[in-house]
Amino acid sequence: MRIIVQKFGGTSVGDEEARLKARDRVISAKKQGFDPVVVVSAMGRRPGPYATDSLLDLVRSKGLPMDARGLDLLASCGEVISCVVMAGYLKAAGYEAVPLTGAQAGIRTDAQFGDASIQGINTARLLDVLASGQIPVVAGFQGVTDDGEITTLGRGGSDTTATALGVALRAECVEIYTDVEGVMTVDPKIVPEARLISAITYFEVEELANNGAKVVHPRAVHIAQQGGIPVRVRSTFAESEGTFITDDVARRVITGIAHVDGLARIEAVYPNPAEPSRARVAILKAISTIGINVDFINVTPRAILFTVKDEFAKAVEEALRSEGFACHVMAECAKVSVVGAGMQEVPGVMARVVEALHRAGVHIMQTVDSEITISCLIDQASVAQAVRALYDEFDLGAPGM
Ligand code: ASP
Ligand code: MG
User: Looking at residue 401, what is its pLDDT?
Assistant: 57
Angstrom distance (rounded) from CA 177 to CA 231: 11
Name the pTM for this structure: 0.94
In the chain, where the domains are located: 3-245, 256-393
| DSSP β-ladder status, 326-339 and 256-269 | antiparallel
User: How far does residue 320's CA lie from ligand 2's centre (Å)?
Assistant: 36
Helix and strand numbers (H, E) in the chain are: 11, 18
Superfamily grouping for domain 256-393: VC0802-like (3.30.2130.10)
Q: Give the DSSP letter string of 244-308.
A: EE-S-SPPPS--EEEEEEEEEEEEEEPS-TT-HHHHHHHHHHHHHHTT---EEEEE-SSEEEEEE
Rg (CA), the chain: 23
Ligand 1, residues at Cβ distance < 6 Å: 9-10, 41-42, 52, 78, 140-141, 155-159
CATH architecture of 3-245: 3-Layer(aba) Sandwich (3.40)
Q: Nearest Cα to 76, choosing from 12, 125, 140, 10?
A: 140
* Residue 324, SS3 per DSSP: coil
Across the beta sheet with 150-152, what order do the strands follow?
Answer: 118-121, 107-109, 142-144, 150-152
Residue 223, C-beta contacts closer than 8 angstroms, at least 6 positions apart: 118, 160, 163, 164, 167
Q: Who surrounds ion ligand 2 at CB < 5 A? A: 9, 156
Positions in the chain short of pLDDT 50: none
CA of 56, nearest ligand number: 1
| Nearest residue by C-alpha to atom 8 in ligand 1 | 156
The identity of residue 39, as a single letter, is V
For residue 22, the number of C-alpha atoms closer than 13 Å in the C-beta half-sphere is: 35
Angstrom distance (rounded) from CA 61 to CA 54: 9
Mutate to test the pocket of ligand 1, among 5, 41, 118 (most ligand atoms within 8 A of CB): 41
| Nearest residue by C-alpha to atom 9 in ligand 1 | 155
Model pLDDT for residues 267-281, shown as the tens digit of each residue: 999 999 899 999 999
User: How far does residue 158's CA lie from ligand 2's centre (Å)?
Assistant: 6
Atom of ligand 1 nearest to the CA of 79: 1
Q: Nearest Cα to 15, choosing from 87, 85, 107, 108?
A: 85
Taking a C-beta distance cutoff of 8 angstroms, is the pair 258, 216 a contact? no
User: How far does residue 287's CA lie from ligand 2's centre (Å)?
Assistant: 30
Atom of ligand 1 nearest to the CA of 157: 8
